[in-house]
A and B are shown apart, each in its own frame.
Chain A
Amino acid sequence: MKYSRLIFALGALLGFTLLVPNILPQYLVRVLIVMGINIILVASLGLSNGFTGVFSLGHVGFMALGAYSSGILTLSVSKKLAYLPDLPGFLAGYNLPFLPATILAGLLCAAVAFLIGIPLMRLSGNYVSVATLGFLVIVNNVLINAETLTRGARTFTGIPDFTTLPWVVAWMVVTLVVLSRIAYSPFGRAMRATREDGIAAQGIGIQVLPTRLIAFTIGAFFAGIGGALYAHYLVSFSPATFYIAMMVTQLTMLVLGGQASLTGATLGVVIVTVLSELLRNLERGFDLGFVKLPAVFGASQIALGLIFILVMVFRPQGLFGDREIKFVESKVERNERPVPDHL
């Protein structure tokens, strides 16, 4: 049956999600929540960076916008009075439940991405990366200074802790299903064509700028969703939370797994999460009985950085390249791989 594998996978995931909070310790549940959020973020980053070839460094900027807007929308009215007394009236008077706030946060990010994308998608290569990094710096700078909305550089706190494992898993499934439907549609093919050769793509009638713009906008929507989920998981954060360190972590996950593969993005997140949890525990120092290793803080980041460079040198396409594990069997086995350069 066409959908049997998908149904099996979803069933297994549902069972896992319902069972896990009862079996595993709280610490591991929290690790799983962060991992799920990162899958949403990294898979959506892959849509523009991997599939479309617009290598954005501004994804974390959208995430920050999503986190702050969802935080402001859901903060209870009494807490708004205490923490954000100068909020404009239409925001101060009421608060929204989790789901609408999250979706609004995503839509806001998509709108911002659409507006800034109109000029930015003209750029390519290094230039689009530097420009989107500029966007991240601008977002950070504005969040720090828009004190009436964000409490500035101080910690933004009091956000309800809505994010639970089932929420994250549900959003993760929605993200992956939507992204795979887009990435492996005719439009997805157009995206990859603009990545491989913009001029050739234009020559066969693909509109390069709109294609890139739509991919960028969809990616930003899920970045906003991920940011909102992360906000309701962290409960308190500051603009510094969403900055370069987070960007580097997400890039490591994406690049390790494979930029043009949703499976790759997902597994990249899993691998980096497991590795950094392991390394973080090693870093505290441990006793082998005969030798005692001291605590070396920062060593886990250095190890991740080294892995990053090794991937760049020896396997720049990432572990998965552009291969996918398929959950829906198609009637005709299509060749999705791009034509190699030398043909």
Chain B
Amino acid sequence: MNLLEYTFQQIINAVSQGSMFALVAVGLSIIFSLLRLTNFAHGDMMMVGAFGTLVMQLAGVPFLLAVLLGIVISALVGIIIERIAYRPVRGAPDVTMLLTSVALTYILENLGILLFTSSPRNFPLPDWLNASFNLADGRISFTSINLLTFGLTLLALLFLAWFVRNTQVGLGMRAAAEDLTASYLVGINVNTVIVVAFVMASSFAGLAGVLWAAQAGVVEPHMGFTPLLKAFVAAIIGGFGSIPGAIIGGFVLGALEVLIQSLPSEWGLGAYRDAIVFTLLIAFLLFRPGGIVGVKQEVKL
């Protein structure tokens, strides 16, 4: 394998990984921009989406429809948790909202364990999704899941870009992200905006959950936690609260993870990937809290 082919292969891996991070991070960022809520329960929407799809498949629904229904289920769960848990603490100090979301994560994961037990379950895929493609005599390979991950992420993000520019609710969302109280005063229906934001964020996370499960081949109740942590890193290094920031952060993080993984193994850094990534997160928080795109920060001690 020559250097060019190797690089190309790594780029494929990085893009596939990065689009997943971007998909989850965008949801985190939208919610943060509206409510200043650091939403730990966001990762569990991945679990809900994947389990929803699995249950639908087991009930005999064809794969694509099952995925769609799984995403709808995660959107519904998003609406429910916003209504019963986040709305009562809206406007509370940051930490109160953060703790509410931590408690929600705990409830959702344990509900997952209660309903599906904590052992991983097989995630059945149709054959066309398992197909792999080879270039350059098999020295470069990727699966249709890699392609699909990138394609669907692109579609979802394009839809989001269209939505926040061209629909009334989307414009309201951008206004509310600037200033929630002021947008309420000028007559924007803040509740609608927030519910729609949760629908978008949760369904993106649900989609990411299905893609994640398809790549891993299994679903389990704790599956959302690691990607959530990574999405936090992506959202913060991109610029917490900014949609383009989250996308850039997602792809940067994907590239970085692939890069760390491809370092010479005698350096022994590959196993410390998470430690490196989180050190980077802390460095960003300290030296560039606005992230890559430079979100404006309130001056705070």
Chain A interface residues (CB < 8 Å from chain B): 55, 119-120, 122-127, 129-131, 133-135, 137-138, 140-142, 144-145, 194, 198-199, 202, 208, 244, 248, 251-252, 255, 296-299, 301-302, 304-306, 308-309, 312-313, 316
Contact = CB atoms under 8 A, between A and B. Distances in A.
A141 B103 contact: no
Contact of A137 (B99, B107, B229): B229
Interface string B97-127: 0111011111100110110000000000000
Given A131-B285, A308-B99, A126 B94 contact: yes
B38 A296 contact: no
Contacts of B102: 248, 251, 308
Contacts of B272: 141-142, 145
Nearest to B38: A126
Nearest to A53: B95
A130 B286 contact: no
Contacts of A297: 113-114
B274 A131 contact: no
The 4 closest A-B pairs by CB, nearest first: A198-B301, A305-B107, A308-B103, A134-B278
B274 A202 contact: no
B245 interface: no
B47 to A, nearest CB: 14
Contact of A198 (B99, B104, B110, B300): B300
23 contacts: A55-B98, A119-B286, A126-B36, A126-B38, A126-B95, A129-B95, A129-B98, A130-B281, A133-B229, A134-B282, A138-B274, A138-B278, A141-B275, A144-B271, A145-B275, A251-B99, A297-B113, A297-B114, A299-B114, A304-B106, A305-B106, A306-B107, A312-B96
Given A141-B272, A208-B301, A255-B99, A130 B111 contact: no
A131 B236 CA distance: 11
Q: Looking at chain A's contact residues, is the secondary structure mostly helix, strand, loop, or mixed?
A: helix
Pick the most buried of B229, B281, B285: most chain A CB atoms within 10 A of its CB: B285
Given A130-B232, A130-B285, A297-B114, A137 B103 contact: no
Contact of B278 (A126, A137, A302, A312): A137
Given A130-B281, A199-B301, A301-B106, A141 B274 contact: yes
Given A198-B300, A316-B96, A131 B113 contact: no
Contacts of A134: 278-279, 281-282
Given A137-B274, A252-B103, A312-B103, A127 B289 contact: yes
